[in-house]
Structure 1
């Protein structure tokens, strides 16, 4: 594929990401009882503890009402706790509980096992290194950065 054709490269990346996401979801179905929406919240709060429900909704591209329902269910299940913000008492910050961390660990182990095996079975060490380099570039593309700040 010519790398200077950004439209084709964009479409190829979208296709691979879609297929990978679908396959990872498929591999975790039936292994854990944590629904996919809750898995996303667990991962997000693990990497950014203290987000509010509204911030989670924006980050996950869902409606606030949907996120509120997900968060309420997770709180009832003991996966999340809500705390008053230290700097703003009106802010309700969400954090993982011990049970939430355990559920996230189970989800990650399930996905990691399948993906790790596939990486080892299908790619050489050189190809895995190249994939690692590509991930750094993809991360740069998808991470939020102000317009005009192109990784400088």
Structure 2
């Protein structure tokens, strides 16, 4: 029996999704192994990168931007503050909210982590033409744009007892 065009598309989409998962998982494992001697996790690096891009975020804003639970972000923020990578201070708009900013030490940690990330990225994409990389980037952004409404709806859902699904 011949497959319909939709079945063929579905199979192709699944193969691409699985290949992307393998790529992301492999890159993540390699980067975490590289970061480990410096005593930083990928989640901490992501938090520092987010703070570099958008200064003075609350922990709640950081957790959403980094795709982690507020509880996990509290742990990340506490360690980063102890290490001197970030500074927290009351928000000028609402003194009950603490905003987080990157310190000079935090920028150094971030720079080192980003250098390690670049090394792995160069290895990952070696031999791939720039035009192919740009096309893949365009296509992946389209795919994310298609999912964005569903992601936005997740933030509107009531929280479950043990956090989001």
- Normalised by the shorter chain, which TM-score bucket? 0.7 to 0.9
Number of residue pairs matched by the alignment: 141
* Over 4 Å off, 4+ runs: none
* Cα distance, 1:19 vs structure 2: 1.9
Q: Choose the corresponding residue for 2:127, options 123, 140, 146.
A: 123
Correspondence for 2:17? 10
Q: CA RMSD in A?
A: 2.6
Q: Which structure 1 segments of 5+ residues have no match?
A: 148-152
Correspondence for 2:140? 138
Q: What is the rounded CA distance, in whole Å, between the counterparts of 1:9 and 1:105 in structure 2? A: 32
**Kept in 2: contact 1:28–1:111 (CA 8 A):** no
Q: Which structure 2 segments of 5+ residues have no match?
A: 1-7, 151-165
- Higher Cα radius of gyration: 2
Q: What is the rounded CA distance, in whole Å, between the counterparts of 1:98 and 1:43 in structure 2? A: 13
Query: 1:10-69 deviations in whole A, cap 9, x for unaligned?
Result: 222222222222222233332x22233321211121122222112222333333222212
- Is the alpha carbon distance of 1:116 and 1:8 closer, same or farther for their aligned partners in structure 2, counting shifts above 3 Å? closer
- Is the alpha carbon distance of 1:78 and 1:140 closer, same or farther for their aligned partners in structure 2, counting shifts above 3 Å? farther
* Local SS of the residue matching 1:123: coil
